[in-house]
Amino acid sequence: MVKLPTPRQLREISASYNLDLSDADVDSYLALMQGVMASYDRLDQLVEPAPEIRYPRSGGRRPEPEENPLNAWYYRCSIKGAPEGLLSGKKVAIKDNVCVAGLPMMNGTAVLEGYVPETDATIVTRILDAAGEVCGKAVCESLCFSGGSHTSDTGPVLNPHDRSRSAGGSSSGSAALVASGECEMAIGGDQGGSIRIPASWCGVYGLKGTHGLVPYTGIFPIELTLDHTGPIAASVEDVALLLSAIAGEDGLDPRQNSVQTADYLQDLDGGVEGMKVGVLSEGFGWPGLSEEDVDEVVREASRKFGELGAEVSEVSVPLHRDGIHIWNGIAIEGATALMVDGNAMGTNWKGHYTTSLLDAYARGRTTRANDLSETVKLTMLTGRYMRDRYHGRYYAKAQNLARKLAAAYDATLEDYDLLLLPTVPMKATPLPDPDAPREEVVRRALEMIHNTCPFDVVGYPSMSVPCGLSEDLPVGAMLVGGSWEEAKILRAARAFEGTKTYTARPEGAKSAG
């Protein structure tokens, strides 16, 4: 039963809204509220609809350290779906911000530890419908707010190529597990680059589709206009397979509107003959960030596209350099409003709300705020200040500028099929020491997103493709297309995949089968 506020509580609420209430006012409002509370009591008696759990499963387990050398698994399990389908024989790791009924979900943070979802996310059901096997939950960064792999409360995820370095984030475990051969495929999430960054640093393929292509239902959000989820895999074909299984509207996600899917396998081997690829000059040479060897490896990739028959030339989109600033304006205030103050679900949208997640996270967040990561603390402190002081004008301006940024890319994509640039300006960075100062922890979490985050802002599909090694560390090239052009990106990635004269698999990687 919902309790009425006390007179003191009502006065505190009124003060937060700058309302002056007399004692008589307080008594009057309390009496009026009593009638409204009857509706809340009735809501407690009604059973809300929930997605069906279609496939039985038994409990999983936390792996022992010797079974988890990269610290990339959060939970191990074996959930099998339909007997035959598109993903038959494929083992799929699920990022731990995604609900899997009966398996603990931590989302990288101790404030959520102990929560067990009672339903499957839409994409989990679709993977099982396609005969994929869910083989476990992959560690992700704390509330997924890091491009490095050092913020999860279960400890850092280690790069399989060099265990002293970051695997990238926030889908850190997903990329590391694919790269090390623990599974063929994994689900990642992407609000600022969190599929493509770890894919680049671990030497695997990661695709962030068009905003809304893959339903986000049952996944812990950060910001509705930035939220994406999608595939990470060791081959282009496996990316296409997994995308084919999970893409399309589910009727429960407000991010989805007039979604256009395609047969991602039909023309996968069509090649790039006649395709026009624009090498985005502003993606190279970031002052203080770009490493010359990374830029050169990606430029060499552009030359290979020319050898494959594509028409390759340099293009310029000056506003790309402002994408990081537009992203900050949206992400900081938007994440504070939804991920923090809105307890991950927020309000004012239609679809399926995971109410148990909302409640569990709210209790943990409010009682264990000091356990939040440094990146989350920085975001919520800055976001609340900007909201209180500037009343959302910068969030609104950034969202308006997002249209201008999209128009700038569109002007180039009218003449070119795809854009090409480094996924990340630098190679995988060293993991911070456990006692590293806050400044280093935050820098290592956010310094790498400059090329990836603008395409979350505009919602365009982009894919990190392994294109070479430098100092035995992988380098990724990012292919970007217009809305709903995932098939074109995959076709180009597949053509480039056939030119590889190196292996991005780390020494000791095993077969997922």
The catalytic site residues sit at 95, 170, 194
Long-range contacts of 377-384 (CB under 8 A, 24+ apart): 378/442, 379/145, 379/331, 379/332, 379/335, 379/336, 379/340, 380/335, 380/336, 380/340, 382/332, 382/336, 383/332, 383/333, 383/334, 383/335, 383/336, 383/337, 383/340, 384/336, 384/341
3 state DSSP class of 233: strand
Instruction: Judge residue 470's burial from the number of C-beta atoms within 10 Å of its C-beta, 0-12 exposed, 13-18 middle, 19 or more buried.
Output: middle
Residue 157 DSSP symbol: P
Cα distance between residue 171 and residue 197, in whole Å:
8
Looking at 417-506, which runs of residues are DSSP E strands?
A: 418-422, 462-470, 473-480
Cα distance between residue 96 and residue 138, in whole Å:
6
Query: Helices (H), strands (E): how many in the chain?
Result: 14, 13
Residue 340 DSSP symbol: I
Task: Find the DSSP H helices in 225-373.
Answer: 236-246, 292-307, 323-335, 355-367
User: Contact 102/116 with Cβ under 8 angstroms?
Assistant: yes
Among all chains, which residue has been given the structure tokens 């790498």?
Answer: 448
Taking each helix axis from N to C end, the angle separating 438-446 and 374-390, rounded to the nearest 10 degrees, works out to 80
Cα distance between residue 197 and residue 308, in whole Å:
26
Instruction: Judge residue 397's burial from the number of C-beta atoms within 10 Å of its C-beta, 0-12 exposed, 13-18 middle, 19 or more buried.
Output: middle
- Count Cβ neighbours within 10 Å for each residue of 31-57 and write b for 16 or more, e otherwise: eeeeeeeeeeeeeeeeeeeebebebeb
